[in-house]
Structure 1
């Protein structure tokens, strides 16, 4: 039964009008019964429905789609257990500052006094603190206006996911008779000219300036400007720790590598090279652990200070996130759009003489074929076959050093990785990206352990015949955990993944899969997979890479 007003318009009808006006016409969903009234008489052709088999994969796909388009993506899932399933992916989207509107189905209003099936208890609290904002309308007719408000909040800096809980029966209630006027909230924040002058003066006064590139530089369209700025300053550029989006080409001679997320190593590398460092986008800094925690010796009473940056370097931090600025380890922070700051600095800084800088990275050896295969050899061959405009999605907790050494991504390549410690984004994110940009090949390089978190997205890739190539360096374990402990053998049950055949799993979801365990034919298989019509997965058996390198 559908309840309408005299004009026949329901909250559902009014909401679909708002979604059209906002451009939210691609829907990522794994719905439950509490959302089904929204899909009644679904408007095929006007709206694209992208089905995912599990909510974590659905949110991950929406994350990749939003990062490709630069605009909020729309997710519709159950607001209770469905959202709980997705929380790892929500956590990652929040860490990446991905704009996203999540509609969570709630039980009918009249049922909420009891304990109904699939109820979302304290619905707006469940996704906190990993969202920017959450709301549940006080009246059914307020649903469209609340979605429009959520959209505007998601897309304003710092961007991020938002959540709206919608009771099931709201969709069929009468709409407000007055059509909703959807405002366009323009992003008009610009850097303070005085702040730009201060940053430019610090860079010009430095003997050895350095730049640290965060993902927002690329997200805000300033990647080419960062190249121009670095070349004008003749300054090294480092990738920010936990680099989740490529903001500078890795094959550029001024690229110094990705900083490790450990304060002692950050200080060691930067103090040796720079007297002034400007952090452009992202926090300063995302840290993973401290050096002393690698020790397996008995621990002393903790009298250590909180992480600090070396006093030998002046650190300036540019971010559009006030909370990141408040928590900065830098000497001075500027709250401004990092992309606009980069663009504004290019004409302000003085042109320095071009001089070759002393290399900070060791020459990378060319790996050779072996049996068993090494991941370094796999990545070396992949780099030889990689299309110039391919977009890489990487999640390799144990193998990131080999990846960046053997695959120096160029100016035409995109790069995305997990912004948080939660696993699963690249496997699903590449699917969302390919839906938005089917003109570019998305290449997923993910270990077989990380792949388990969102492997359901394979089905969506097959259903839409997307140009996604999955390359799995399969070392049969969660090896990022293995090397934390001295007694590794007794912990084997906690990292051993032997018996997982990713090629068979892929075929079960409708994706062509091939398992490779020798160097013969590997390069040809990579070439074919990178130019195939539709998705392909290569499960490449590799040797244990040993202790990870930073």
Structure 2
């Protein structure tokens, strides 16, 4: 019997997938590809798709996170679904906490190889990223890949938004496509706040003697920042940043801004009970907590008979979130599942206008720091604030220095503010690069310690390759100082926090980014001015003194 060769199909799963990606607008691809993804890139249509290479998967996902936050649309990531996804999990964890829409395609070994234990296999592929994704899938048949990606896109985009994952076997890309093109449904959010709920929240605010608002990142992400300003001014109400504030939803230089709440229940209660009788939490959990006050003690611990964290009964708390899980876990008195941005917009015409009276300050006046050698981080931030472009987009990760940052850099209405939404380090360094790819007309400014920078350091190379307008400012205190002050006996613990010898300027130059080390006040202003107006990326490694015990 003579074997015959059938003609190769003219249309493959790869072709059909590229059509779906075009239709969905997923034409920027963040990737650090491995062998299991290469078939997708054969005859790559580079005139239609922008390929953004990263040197390590954590940086790749972090860049995609920043890009998605900049565009408001899902970002596309292509990495190996086994060790590659493992490398990226810290960044996936952060993207999930930030509710960043993202479609991650994970390369899987060829189907015929999966009976064994092949190299680069993704065992139980859809289980690895759980529980830090919204959804995961793998195609039952090769021809299902394009439709599965379209489905993943719609899931990532709907509230609460978040990253999704699709595992694609390597050989699926070259199999014949379904003869019928994928029908992409137009899935649009039609969720609007219940008018009765809006009326109840408005009545609670109008009935309060001392109303307060707590703003979470979704207010800004859903385009309601200006509306929140209008709502606060109409109510003459203070606005607090939600604990672990990962996105600026209210200008920090506004007279009604009260500061960012600390992620400690005792301090949340202390600050809010002293100022308000009704507080409405808009977006985000109520509340994200980091630790409890008793854990700062070094005394022997008693048998734990304490209740779970709770909010003071002296304040009535109303909570608005589009995340049903956050609503179910709320510490507030009432929680409403609705889009926070739409709720803010809807409340503005409903609440009564109050007399504009000056509220007593809740924050101490901020002293103007003096130059010194070594520099203080407060002085660095003070000078940086004076040199920032009016529309600069700030990306911050300073576990030990956040108080100094917000005191010395009161961001205005045109400034964006982005920070990690989780306890995982590394988002701002890579996120700023992704944001700059989405908005090259704006200056992205990264303020990150030299410890945090190590987690996505590879993003420097991508910034250099694309000549992006990113300025990296490193307050270099030679240590993981967020860890230093947890233990009483610092000498024995020094090996756990000491980072002496890290030279960020040299590292930057190794990745193709102009790097400069600043060790004294002389020349700091000019170095900042030059770095903030350069055509491409610049990193300033600014040596600063140990700031001491962190302030909340």
The aligned residue for residue 228 of structure 1 is: 230
Q: 1:87 to 1:5 in 2, by over 3 A?
A: farther
Q: Once superposed, which parts of structure 1, at least 4 consecutive aligned residues long, lie more than 4 Å away?
A: 3-7
The aligned residue for residue 110 of structure 2 is: 108
Post-superposition shift, 1:4?
9.4
Q: 1:453 is paired with a residue of what secondary structure?
A: helix
Q: 1:247 is paired with a residue of what secondary structure?
A: coil
Q: Is the 8 A contact 1:226 1:248 kept in 2?
A: yes
Q: 1:397 is paired with a residue of what secondary structure?
A: coil
Query: For 1:416-455, what per-residue CA distance to the aligned partner results, in whole angstroms no more than 9, with x for missing partners?
Result: 0000000000000000000000000000000000000000
Q: 1:248 to 1:5 in 2, by over 3 A?
A: farther
Q: What TM-score, normalized to structure 2?
A: 0.99
Partner Cα separation in structure 1 for residue 380 and residue 88 of structure 2: 32
5 Å-filtered alignment, 1:259-408, equals 259-408=261-410
Q: 2:463 is paired with a residue of what secondary structure?
A: helix
Post-superposition shift, 1:478?
0.2
1:419 aligns to 2:421 (yes or no): yes
Post-superposition shift, 1:184?
1.3
The aligned residue for residue 86 of structure 1 is: 88
Query: For 1:279-320, what per-residue CA distance to the aligned partner results, in whole angstroms no more than 9, with x for missing partners?
Result: 000000000000000011111111110000000000000000
The aligned residue for residue 11 of structure 1 is: 13
Q: How many residues align?
A: 548
Post-superposition shift, 1:6?
6.5
Partner Cα separation in structure 1 for residue 210 and residue 6 of structure 2: 69
Partner Cα separation in structure 2 for residue 406 and residue 334 of structure 1: 35
Post-superposition shift, 1:7?
5.1
Partner Cα separation in structure 2 for residue 102 and residue 186 of structure 1: 21
Q: 2:61 is paired with a residue of what secondary structure?
A: helix
Unaligned runs of 5+ in 1: none
Partner Cα separation in structure 1 for residue 438 and residue 302 of structure 2: 52
The aligned residue for residue 239 of structure 2 is: 237
Q: 2:289 is paired with a residue of what secondary structure?
A: coil
Query: For 1:335-354, what per-residue CA distance to the aligned partner results, in whole angstroms no more than 9, with x for missing partners?
Result: 00000000000000000000
The aligned residue for residue 478 of structure 2 is: 476
Question: Structure 1 stretch 6-15 or stretch 86-95: which is displaced more?
Answer: 6-15
Partner Cα separation in structure 1 for residue 276 and residue 360 of structure 2: 12
Q: 1:316 to 1:453 in 2, by over 3 A?
A: same
The aligned residue for residue 539 of structure 2 is: 537
1:429 aligns to 2:431 (yes or no): yes
Q: 2:455 is paired with a residue of what secondary structure?
A: coil
Partner Cα separation in structure 2 for residue 184 and residue 56 of structure 1: 32
Partner Cα separation in structure 2 for residue 254 and residue 157 of structure 1: 29
Unaligned runs of 5+ in 2: none
Question: Structure 1 stretch 443-452 or stretch 294-303: which is displaced more?
Answer: 294-303
The aligned residue for residue 454 of structure 1 is: 456
Post-superposition shift, 1:14?
0.2
Q: 1:118 is paired with a residue of what secondary structure?
A: coil
Partner Cα separation in structure 1 for residue 15 and residue 475 of structure 2: 48
Query: For 1:391-434, what per-residue CA distance to the aligned partner results, in whole angstroms no more than 9, with x for missing partners?
Result: 00000000000000000000010000000000000000000000
Q: 1:6 to 1:112 in 2, by over 3 A?
A: closer
Equivalent of 1:196, from 190, 195, 198? 198
The aligned residue for residue 57 of structure 2 is: 55
Post-superposition shift, 1:5?
7.6
Q: Is the 8 A contact 1:4 1:172 kept in 2?
A: no
5 Å-filtered alignment, 1:443-522, equals 443-522=445-524
Q: Is the 8 A contact 1:5 1:174 kept in 2?
A: no
Q: 1:452 is paired with a residue of what secondary structure?
A: helix
Equivalent of 2:135, from 127, 133, 136? 133
Q: 1:218 to 1:4 in 2, by over 3 A?
A: farther
Query: For 1:517-537, what per-residue CA distance to the aligned partner results, in whole angstroms no more than 9, with x for missing partners?
Result: 000000010000000010000
